[in-house]
Amino acid sequence: MTTELHEAFDWLEVARLVLTSRVMDDMEESSLYPSGDVPYQFSARGHELGQVLLSRLLRQPGDAASVYYRSRPFMLGAGLTVEEAFAAGMARAGSPSAGRDVGVVFNLPRREGPTVLPMAGDVGSQFTPAAGWAQALCYRRHELGEEDLQGSIAVVFGGDGAVATNGFWSALTLATTLSLPLLFVVEDNDYAISVEKWLQTPGGNIAGNLASFQNLAIWQGDGTQPAETAALVVTAVEHVRRWQGPGLLRLSIPRLCGHSSHDNQGYKSEERLAEEWARDPLPALRDYLVPALLGDDGWAELEAQVAADVAAARDAALAQPQPDPAEVTSHVWAAPQPEPAGETTPNPSDPRRINMVEAVRRTLDVELAANPRLVIFGEDVGAKGGVHTATMGLQSKYSDRRVFDTSLSEEGIIGRATGMALAGLRPAPEIQFRKYADPATEQLHNLGTLRWRTAGRFAAPVVVRMPGGFGRKVGDPWHSVTGEVEFAHAPGWRVAFPSNAEDAVGLLRMALRGDDPTIFFEHRAQMDANWARRPYPGDDFVVPFGLARRIREGDELTVVTWGAMVERCEQAARELEAEIEILDLRTIVPWDREAVLASVRKTAKCLVVHEDIELAGFGAEIAATVADEAFVYLDAPVRRLAAPPVPVPFNSGLMNAVVPSVAAIREAMDGLLAF
């Protein structure tokens, strides 16, 4: 009996790739892991067939895939060489991350196959960046006229455990509400490490549970049988390519290995292990191809050739050098950062003093007009114009494709922004309040380290606008958080914290035109404060990051501050008969070390004032630097004035007891002056 092979595939190449993945797993598990050459191994045994078939279908120019740690068969089909794959597990210089990341945390610029988006090690974090890429495909076609992207899609892989994560549900909401060309592929092997799938999904079948989900096509079947799997993947990909909306393909497969090299599968019975091995897709593939495509001898020759090729690639990877420790801090930023140049000269055409909200809105307006790839989004930023009115009128002027509302998911907002930036857009999302960024912590950290983790092969220059801080009349624990030190401690993020409208314009424009991800903090108390009002400085005005502004000159005391505390420090200094120098840092990553040190060497005294909690706050970094590099100039201890370790209270009297007041700042200044 002759088997009719599915015509969409070069089955000899499919067999070669499946065998290659299997032989690599065997080599790593039997020798490279025990010898220590591969310190941490993840096998894909049992997962190969569907992944390889899908990899062969993604050949259009905008196709992309977002993968997870069990996706090496797909990576081989997407163009990753066997030597690169071995080098990844060995953490060698020629790996996709140059030895910086776990061997199965993949990325791959487009070769003959899809772009593989830089993945992270967090389960479920791969979903929303894929949705962002898919949305960018629609944007680039409809707004930028890139018709060659018609039919390009994004595919995202995950296991049955990943469907319980926030990222999966957020991406599902994005894809279905926006009708995105995104295919979810769920590789259901029944286990998330040792936890069975019924604890992840009611009934254990995500496809069955989503059967009534609107605007979502669903397919499911056995991912170990070549004919069935081929028909499923072709149908799913063709459906999404027609841009008829997203789809979900669930493939039932066995995990013929532990979760990782450290997992002995002691939680599975002998009967269960035997049942899984009986579903091994490799014998099924052999039976499908022999004798329809080649005979027994031909299959044996293919196995021998693959074994020889894999062994040669293993030896080549073992011969690769170790990564250079001198390069470990490279690729954090877009390029080596020169000393910051001076800011451009303000050129106001109107002497009217505008508040910070108008300054932000006007800057966004100018940059939207200048850059068609800039998109602004977040909760309520569209028709409402933002809860702080910073985007008011921008949607009606630039369309709801460029300024748009999102679902209530900060994980989705930042993950989507990552995918859009990787696809060549310039996303500027808004997180409505600083505290609301907490659900997006995983995506924020992953975005910041993305360039470093890929050794400079990918970057995502996203600008996240984030209002917060106490209000002028009221605070509370949920809307008044600053917590900027958390972002200073997150590698790869630049952090801007303007105190006034003019600096808001210059810093925001610098961020939107730069190549690094940036947190742009907008303080609630300064948004409409009279002190913070300034004339609009012009459409070309920029403020370089890392360049402090001297608010007052003096030689008796240096005060270092930022954000809303600048106004309070200036007011406190005016009440004292002393020559107090006040430096507004404006950015804390990078921060102007040289300006601070030069001032302290002149005044011999230093006070750091900030609104965030004092314990481990950013003021400690400044104080430590002054102590390290200007100690011999000091005539008094470096002092910090900041909040106690409690949230900002709702009651105004309690709030004023927590946030450094003018009186408290004046007292601290006076104490240092008298020391």
Report CA-CA distances (Å) from 122 to 126, 245, 500, 516: 8, 27, 38, 22
3-state secondary structure 370-390: HCCCEEEEECCCCCCCCCCCC
**Identity of residue 476:** D
Helix axes 618-629, 593-603, angle to 10 degrees: 60
3-state secondary structure 93-137: CCCCCCCCCCCCCCCECCCCCCEECCCCCCCCCCHHHHHHHHHHH
Place of tokens 């270092």: 560
Beta bridge partners of 613: 643
Helix ranges (H only) for 261-355 are 270-277, 281-289, 296-318
Number of helices (H), then strands (E), belonging to the chain: the values are 23, 22
CA–CA–CA angle 160, 452, 588 (5° rounding): 110
Residues in the chain: 675
Burial of 381 (0-12, 13-18, 19+ CB in 10 A): buried
Q: Residue 491 and residue 674: Cα distance in Å, rounded?
A: 39
Q: How far apart are the first and last CA of the chain?
A: 98
Query: To the nearest 10°, the Cα dihedral for 33, 36, 40, 43?
Result: -10
DSSP assigned state of 30: I
Q: Residue 444 and residue 172: Cα distance in Å, rounded?
A: 20
Q: Residue 52 and residue 475: Cα distance in Å, rounded?
A: 55
Residue 337, Cβ neighbours under 10 Å: how many?
Answer: 14
Task: Specify the DSSP element, H or E, that contains 321.
Answer: none
The whole-angstrom distance between residue 280's C-alpha and the CA centroid of its chain comes to 36
Helix (H, G, I), strand (E, B) or coil at 23: helix
Beta strands in 349-420 (DSSP E): 353-354, 374-378, 403-405
Choose, from 479, 489, 523, 610, the residue flagged as catalytic.
479
Nearest to 478 by CA among 443, 444, 441, 434: 434
Helix (H, G, I), strand (E, B) or coil at 520: strand
Q: Residue 36 and residue 49: Cα distance in Å, rounded?
A: 29
The whole-angstrom distance between residue 37's C-alpha and the CA centroid of its chain comes to 30
Residue 476, Cβ neighbours under 10 Å: how many?
Answer: 16
Q: Residue 498 and residue 132: Cα distance in Å, rounded?
A: 29
Place of tokens 């949607």: 395
Contact in structure between 127 and 36 (CB atoms under 8 Å): no
Residue by residue, DSSP assigns 554-600 as: -SSEEEEE-TTHHHHHHHHHHTSSS-EEEEE-SEEES--HHHHHHHH
Does the annotation mark 259 as catalytic?
no
What is the Cα Rg of the chain in Å?
28
Burial of 125 (0-12, 13-18, 19+ CB in 10 A): buried
Q: Hey, what are 663's tokens?
A: 């009186």
Q: Residue 100 and residue 453: Cα distance in Å, rounded?
A: 6
Please identify every residue annotated as catalytic. 479
